[in-house]
Structure 1
Amino acid sequence: MIYDLVIYGGTAAGLAAAVQARRMGMNPIVLEPSRRLGGLSSGGLGDTDFGDKSVIGGLSLEFYKRVGRKYGSDEAVWMFEPKTALSVFEDWVAEYGIEVRYGERLGPVDPVVKRGNRIESIRSESGQTYAGRMFMDAGYEGDLMKAADVSYALGREPNSRYGETYNGIQTAVAVKNQLPRGIDPYVVPGDPASGLLPGVNPGPGGPDGGGDDKVQAYCYRMCLTDAPDNRVFVEQPAGYDERDYELLFRAIEQGEDVFFKLRMVPNRKTDSNNDRGFSTDFIGCNYAYPEASYAEREAIAAAHERYQRGLIWTLQHHPRVPEAIREFYKPWGLPLDEFTENGCWTPQLYVREARRMVSGLVMNENHIFLRSPIADPVGLGSYTMDSHNVQRHVGPEGDVRNEGDVQIKLNSPYPISYRSIVPEEEQCANLLVPVCLSASHIAYGSIRMEPVFMVLAQSAATAAALALEAGIAVQAVPYDKLRERLLLDNQVIG
C-alpha cells in the first residue's frame, strides 16, 4: 500500500498533521516509536507554554478547546492532566480513522529508500516498509530528516553566523535559574587537588557568543499529586548516589529552599518543571542524545529518570536536607491514575532541542525581533526566547555557575517561514519537518512550544496535500494558494 502521507512521530504535531491530512482527503499513517500518543502534550507538559494565546489557531486551538470540553468548559483550557490530553488525541484518531502503528522506529541501517531527491519508502526496525507520496518528520529528534540526508545543525551557533546576540555560550545573561553565590566547586571544599564536583567544568569553554556542540538540558515534566487516595510515593532509586546531589546540599547551605515547581493542574496534580539553579534539569548529561543509538538514548533517558526520582527522594528524606524543606516536599508522589503503563512515571523525556534542519531559510534572532521580514508565514510564534542551562562551570570568582539559561521576552509575535519547515529541494522534495525545523539555537528556543508545533504541522500537511494535487515538490507549492487554505482553516499567520 502507498500512503499519501507517512508521518514519523505521533507527537501532538504529528497527530495535528494527520487530522489535517484527513480533512484534505489524504490517506495518512502515523508511525509512533513509543507506545503512547501525544509526545510531551500527553507526557506531563500540562502547563502549556503559549506566549500570546491570540496567535494560536486552527487544530492547535481546537485541541485546547477539546481539552476544555473534557473539563466541562466551552473555552480552551491550557492546564490539564496528561491522561486528559491523551484522551483528546485518541478521540482524534478514532473520529478521523487515522491509522497508527505503535513501536515503529526507523531501522538502524539505511532505513530510507530514495529515488533522486524523493523518498519512496521507509523501513522500520521491525522490518516493515511504509511507502508514501509525501513524508513528514514530526519527532523531537529529527531521525527521519537525518536518514533522508537532509542538512542539520547541532548545538549552539556562534553569534557571528547569523548576526545574533543571544546565541552561543552565554554567561553574562545567565542570571535566572542560577545557583546561589559562593558554592565551592571542589569535592573537598577548598582543595583543588580533590577534583571538581561531577558535572562541573573548569570554565565555560569559550567567550560569550562563541559556538559549541552542547545541548540545553533535558528533564521529565513530573506529574505529582498530594492526594492520599491517588498517590504512590517515590522510593530511593536503584543506583542512587548522593554525590549527584552535593550541589543541592551546598545550595541549601547557601540559603536555597526551592528546587522544582509545583504548578497545579486539575485534580490535585502538578506539572513540575525545572526551577532554580539545582532542579529537575540534568544539566550536561544529554549531549550525546541527539546522535545516539536507540540503546544509548534509552540509557540516557534512564539516567534522567534515576536522577529525578533521586531528587524527589533526597528532598523528602536525606538528613542533609533541613526538616522544613523535607516537610514541604514530603506530601508529593506519583498519581496512580497517570502513566499506568509505565509505573506512573511519564515515558516522554523532555527533549527540548536535538537536531535542527538547515534549509533555505534559517529562522534566527533577527526574524524573532522582526528585524528581518518573512514573506511566507505558516504560523506565528510569540514565546520568550528560552534556552535552559547547558553546563556548569567554575566562574571567575571561583564558585560554581550555571551557563546557558537565556530568557528574552518579546514585544510582539513574529511569523515563521514556510521555507523553514521544508528542506532544500535538491536534498528532498517530498519531506516536511515542522518540529526539528530550520532555526538557530536561540530562535528555536522560542519556536519550540507544543501549540506552535501543532500549528506548523497543520500547515505542513496542508502544503503536502497541495503538492500532491499539483504533482510538484513541496518547495514549489504556491504560497498564495497555501495561504488561502490556511486562512480557511482558521490558522493565524499574520
Structure 2
Amino acid sequence: MAFILAANAQPGTSGTHIPKYDLVIVGGTPSGIMAAIAAARLGKTSVILERTAHVGGLPANGLGATDIATRGATTGLFTEFVARVKKYYIDKYGAASDQVKDCSEGYHFEPSVAEKVFGAMLKEDSSKITVLKMRQFDAEPQNIELLSGKIARITVLNRETKKNEEFAGSVFIDATYEGDLGAAAKIPFRVGREGKDEFNEPGAGRVYKYWQGAEGPGTTNQADNAVQSYNYRICLTNDPSNSLPVEKPVNYNRQEYVSMIEDVWTGKHTGVQMLEVTPAMMEDNRKTLAAGGITKIPGDRWGIGKITNMVQLPNHKTDGNNQHMAFISTDLPEENWPWPTSDWNWRDAFAERLKSYTIGLIYFAQNDKELPESFRKATREWGLAKDEYSDNGNFPRQVYIREGRRFEATCFFTAKDATAVSPGKRPPVHPSSVTASHYALDSHAVRKREPGKIHLDGFISYPTSVYTVPLGVMVPRQVSNLILPVPVSGSHIGFSTIRMEPCWMALGQAAGITASLAIDGRSRISDVNTEQLQNKLIDQKATLIYYKDINPSSADFKMVQFMGLKGYLPGWEARLDAPVDKQQVLLWNKLSGLKKTISQGAITRKQMLASIYLSLNKVK
C-alpha cells in the first residue's frame, strides 16, 4: 500500500510539522476502510491508522461467513465488497467452479481473499488514502488534543520504531472495535448489560435460555458488568494437502476441557431438543459410542462440530465459530470482561491466553483418550489451513471483539428499534436512517459453565425484522468533529444486532460521507444536512430503507428511498406498478399537504408518488 502524505501540515508539539488530513481514521477495520473510500470518492484525503500489520479486521481474520439475515437489506460499499469477492473467485477458478459455488454469491470467503479485496479497493483510491500499519492509539489523555470541543490532533505509537507520531485532521473517526478514540475524547460510554427494567428488552440482564428455546431457571434479567465472550474465528480445512496438525500448546491445561467428556459420551448439549432427551437415551448413546458408533441424541453435533460451528468456505475451508449448542467451545467467557477498557498490554496477554485455550481445545478433542475413539477420529480429520496467516503460525491475528465500549450519542439504539411494531410490520422507521440492516438480537455467553444450568448465561438469540439505523447512533454530543461508526450508541441488546460487519461497513460509508459534508460546509458533524447526506449515500448505492421489490439498480430507487423514509410506503413492498386506490390518495395527500385529485385506478402508485416527489423537491 502506497503511503501518500497529505498536502497540508501544521506544527507539532515538538516543533516539527505533522501531516494533516481531511479524515483521521483510527482502526483499519472494514468500517474504517469504507469510511476512507466513501470520503475519497468525494475528493477527501484520509489516513487509516491500523495497529496490526494487516488491514481488514475480522473478515480478514476468519469471519468469512457474512452475518446478515436478509441479503439486500444492507448495500452500498458492502455489496461492492461482496461483488468483488465473487469476481475474484470467478476470475481465478471459473464461473462453474466449486469455489464460486462455495463463495455463496460473494458472502462467504477465505480470510486471505477478504484482505486482498479490501486492499484492492483501497489501492484504487490510493491518491486520497494513506494506510499506516503498526500504529497503536492508546486511550490516554495525553494522546489527544481537544480544543473548544474539537479534536485537533492525536498521538499514536509506531510499534516498529517505538516512537510517537502525531496526526492532525478536520474530522476524526473511531473505527476501533473497542472505542479507544472515543474514550480518550471523554465521550460517555457503557460496558456491561442493562437490566430488563431499563428498556424492557428481551434477553436483557442475566438470562439462561435453551438454544432456539425458552428461557429457563436462573434467569433474573438483572443488570451487571458482564461483557459477552470473545473467540477466534478459526480457519480449518479437511483437505490433507493443505492441512496442518494441531499441536499441544505450551500452556496446555487439560482440566479446562474435561467437562466435555461426559457431554460427548451422553450427547448432552444446550439446545431445546434436550427437553425431550431422557437419561435412558443418554445411557444408550454411551453404549453406541463405546461400540464405535456416532451420537444418536437429537440436536447433538459430532466430531469437530461439537466444539465449533463451521460454515463452508471456498477451497475446503471453514469459518469456525463458537458452537452455540455446546457448554465448552471456542468462546472464553468471563476472562475477557476487562478488555474494553484495558490497555494493549493486557489485551495482548489475553489474546495469547485465548489462542492457547483455543488450540488446546482442539488438541483435547482430537487426542484425549477419555473421549470415544470414533469422536477423536472424526475430529482429527480437520487441521489449520497452511495457506492462511502464514506470518502468524496459521492462526488468526485478531481476537473477535463482539462488543467493546458502547458510547452514548445523540440517538440510543435498543431492541425496539429492530423489532416489528406488530406482527408482519416494520420496526420504527428512523427518518435520519443511514442504512438498513438485519440480524437477530444475538449475544454470546458472559459466564462459563455453571452446574445445573441449561446453557451459559447470556447466550441468546431473538428474532428481528429489517430495520433502519439513524445517523445519531454514531454522532456524540460532546465533540463536534468525531464520528463513532463501530462503537455505536446502544444498549447491550440493541448493539447485539448492529454489531455485524455488513452494518459496520455501511456505517463506515455513512461516516465518510458525513465527514466530507461537514468539511465542505465547515460545520459540526451534528449540523450536517441529513437529506443531503442521504442523497450522497443513495448515489453510492446505499439502502436506507429496505423493500423486497426495489434495489439500488432500479431507476426508481432514489424516489422510493426518499418517500419510504417519509412514511409513504410503510409496507415491505413498494408495488409501484399497482393502481393507486382512493385510500392511498387520501393518505398521501395528508402526508404531503398537497391536494392531488385522482380517480381511483386512473394511475399507478409510481405515477402518483413521482408527482408528489417532484412537488416536494420543488418546494425545497
Normalised by the length of structure 1, the TM-score is 0.90
Equivalent residue number for residue 175 of structure 1: 210
Structure 2 equivalent of residue 91 of structure 1: 120
* SS of residue matched to 1:127: strand
Q: Does 1:264 align with 2:312?
A: yes
The partner residue of 1:440 within 475, 491, 495 is 491
Bigger Rg over Cα: 2
Equivalent in the alignment of 1:388: 444
**Mapped pair 1:9 → 2:59:** no
Identity over aligned residues, as a percent?
32
Which among 466, 473, 481 is matched to residue 532 of structure 2? 481
Deviation at 1:254, TM superposition (A): 3.1
Is the contact made by 1:392 and 1:401 (CA closer than 8 Å) also made in structure 2? no
Whether the 8 Å contact between 2:366 and 2:376 is mirrored in structure 1 is: yes
| Distance in structure 2 (CA, Å) of the matches to 1:95 and 1:264 | 30
State how far apart, in whole Å, the 2-side matches of 1:393 and 1:315 are. Answer: 18
Cα 1:233/1:31, change in 2 over 3 Å: same
Name the residue aligned to 1:118: 150
Q: Matched residues in 1 for 2:494 and 2:460: separation?
A: 11
In the TM superposition, what is the alpha-carbon distance from 1:108 to its structure 2 partner?
6.0
Once the two structures are superposed, the pairs formed by residues 48-59 of structure 1 within 5 Å of their partners are 48-59=66-77
Contact 1:155 1:441 in 2 (8 A): yes
Q: How far off its partner does 1:144 sit? A: 0.6
Partner of 1:48, secondary structure, is coil
Residue 354 of structure 1 and its aligned partner are, at CA, apart by 1.0
Provide the C-alpha distance between the structure 1 equivalents of 2:212 and 2:144, rounded to a whole number of angstroms. 41
- Between the aligned partners of 2:349 and 2:319, the Cα distance in structure 1 is 24
Out of 220-229 and 155-164, give the one that drifted further: 155-164
CA apart distance, 1:392: 3.3
Which residue of the partner structure matches residue 304 of structure 1?
A: 354
Verify: 1:456 aligned to 2:456, yes or no: no
Change (3 A) 1:443 1:325: same
Counterpart residue number, 2:542: 491
In structure 2, C-alpha distance between the alignment counterparts of 1:437 and 1:35, rounded to whole Å: 25
Alignment TM-score, normalising by the size of structure 2: 0.72
SS at match of 2:182: helix
Give, in whole Å, the separation in 2 of the partners of 1:265 and 1:106: 33
Structure 2 CA distance for aligned equivalents of residues 355 and 160 of structure 1: 21
Contact 2:139 2:180 in 1 (8 A): no
The alignment yields a C-alpha RMSD, in angstroms, of: 1.8
Q: Which residue pairs with 1:221 in the alignment? A: 233
Counterpart of 1:95 in structure 2: which amino acid? E
CA shift digits 1:407-462 (9 cap, x unpaired)? 1112x2010110001111xx111011111100111111111111111011101111
Say if 2:210 and 2:455, in contact at 8 Å, map to a contact too. no
**Corresponding residue of 1:106:** 137
Superposed CA deviations along residues 57-88 of structure 1, whole A, max 9, x for unmatched, are 11110001000011005994111101111100
Cα deviations across residues 193-224 of structure 1 (Å, max 9, x unaligned)?
xxxxxxxxxx96xx522111101111000001
Equivalence for 2:197: 160
Task: Report the CA distance between 1:131 and its aligned residue.
Answer: 0.4
Greater relative contact order (Cα < 8 A, sep 6+): 1
State which drifts further: 74-83 or 135-144.
Answer: 74-83
2:435–2:506 CA contact under 8 A, matched in 1: yes
> Which amino acid is 2:444 matched to?
H
Instruction: Tell me, in whole angstroms, the C-alpha distance in 2 between the residues paired with 1:92 and 1:219.
Output: 28
Q: Which residue of 2 aligns with 1:130?
A: 167
Which AA in structure 1 matches 2:319? D
Deviation at 1:160, TM superposition (A): 2.0
Secondary structure of 1:55's aligned partner? coil
Q: In the alignment, does 2:109 pair up with 1:80? A: yes
Number of equivalences: 462
SS at 1:124's partner residue? strand
Pick which of 155-164 and 348-357 moved more: 155-164
| SS of the residue 1:218 aligns to | coil
Query: What is the correspondence of 1:59-74 to structure 2 with a 5 Å cutoff?
Result: 59-72=77-90
Which of these residues, 20, 38, 60, is aligned with residue 42 of structure 1?
60
Which runs of 5 or more residues in structure 1 are unaligned? 182-202
Q: Which residue of 1 aligns with 2:460?
A: 406
**Matches for 1:250-289 after TM superposition, within 5 Å:** 250-256=262-268, 257=302, 258-275=306-323, 276-277=325-326, 278-289=328-339
Amino acid at match of 2:530: Y
Distance in 1 separating the partners of 2:429 and 2:106: 32
Is there any run of 5+ residues in structure 2 with no aligned partner, and where? Answer: 1-18, 158-162, 269-301, 422-427, 546-620
> Separation in 2 of the partners of 1:403 and 1:17?
36
The residue identity in structure 2 corresponding to 1:439 is G
Q: Does 1:362 align with 2:393?
A: no
For the Cα contact (< 8 Å) 1:284–1:392, is it kept in 2? yes
1:200: which partner in 2?
none
Q: Is it true that 1:418 corresponds to 2:471 in the alignment?
A: yes
1:359 Cα deviation from its structure 2 partner: 1.2
CA contact (8 A) 1:66 1:76 kept: no
CA distance in 1, matches of 2:71, 2:37: 22
